[in-house]
Amino acid sequence: MTIKLAGRGILTGLALVGIMAVSTTVRAEENDLLNATLWTQTAVEFKANAMAAYKLAEVMLDRSLADKNSTAATEQGDSYQDKPPAVILDIDETILDNTSYEAWLIKSNTGYSSKTWAPFVMGATSMPIAGSKEFIDYAKSKGVEVFYISNRKAPEEEGTRKNLVDLGYYVNDKIDTVLLRGEKEEWGSNKSTRRTHVAKDYRIVLMVGDNLGDFVEARDATVADREALLDTYKDFWSTKWITIANPMYGSWEAATFSYNFKLPNEEKRQMKLDAMQYWQPKE
């Protein structure tokens, strides 16, 4: 049973009073975001993981730079070998840590909404993902252009740029390298058209992201389709495509409920339960 404690909105309020468990307004056992957000925000294991990924990215960047035939983008096309090199990074949960927003969702017992996400973005308070700034500085030192392709919406560009610049991330001030959703009509949530845009003038040597769509077209891909993509591009993963762990949200989750975001939470949750394999203890 849950009893509301006035003025205590955080999960640390769990306490035993007599034999009755008294918690805050948050019923943690019902919130799938809790452990994922806690891990991402507080665990050194997450930070060490991200640092390892970005250190690998530096090694693989050098390797890709040294081989003119190397490209990380399926959208690269022909005659790219002599184009200047570029890397593409996603923003959310790849270079910027938005766990304070996720924690707020838990505290508020609510789900993601563009109405609350937009002011969060415009507040420019996201923190850096460990290792990301060092990698970007490294790429810059090697003469590699750095593009950011994010599904933040075009009107959120000011807050996004402010956050990046405040944290000391390199952002080219001569050409537009912050490519957000809807900046151009053909730039939808599918990032392929933006990768094509970058590929016109650059050889894309490496990409970093937390979501399958940050690397390859995977719209409406089922869990099985996603496994197949992992296999199809086995030569890209960890060499040209570097992933940052995001256990809080992503297409991995949506695939389990067929991207049917409008379903009631209970139904989505049941579909997630149904998507798992279960141990059967012997009778």
Per CB under 5 A, residues contacting Mg ion are 90, 92-94, 210
**Please, what is the minimum distance in Å from the beta carbon of residue 249 to Mg ion?**
9
Residue closer to Mg ion, measured from CB, 102 or 210: 210
Measured distance CA(76)–CA(26) in Å, rounded: 47
Residue closer to Mg ion, measured from CB, 202 or 249: 249
**Please, what is the minimum distance in Å from the beta carbon of residue 127 to Mg ion?**
14
Measured distance CA(172)–CA(275) in Å, rounded: 43
**Please, what is the minimum distance in Å from the beta carbon of residue 218 to Mg ion?**
13
Residue closer to Mg ion, measured from CB, 181 or 240: 181
Measured distance CA(168)–CA(177) in Å, rounded: 15
Residue 18 phi/psi, 5-degree rounding, is 60, -125
**Please, what is the minimum distance in Å from the beta carbon of residue 210 to Mg ion?**
4
Measured from each CB, the residue nearest to Mg ion is: 92
Quickly count helices (H) and strands (E) in the chain. 10, 9
**Please, what is the minimum distance in Å from the beta carbon of residue 22 to Mg ion?**
37
Q: How far apart are the first and last CA of the chain?
A: 32
Q: How far is CA 101 from the centre of its chain?
A: 14
Residue closer to Mg ion, measured from CB, 2 or 190: 190
Residue closer to Mg ion, measured from CB, 71 or 94: 94
Q: How is 110-157 classified by DSSP, letter by letter?
A: ----HHHHHHHHHHT-PEEPTTHHHHHHHHHHTT-EEEEEEEEEGGGH
**Please, what is the minimum distance in Å from the beta carbon of residue 90 to Mg ion?**
4
Residue closer to Mg ion, measured from CB, 90 or 156: 90
- Both tokens of 52, joined, read 């390892």
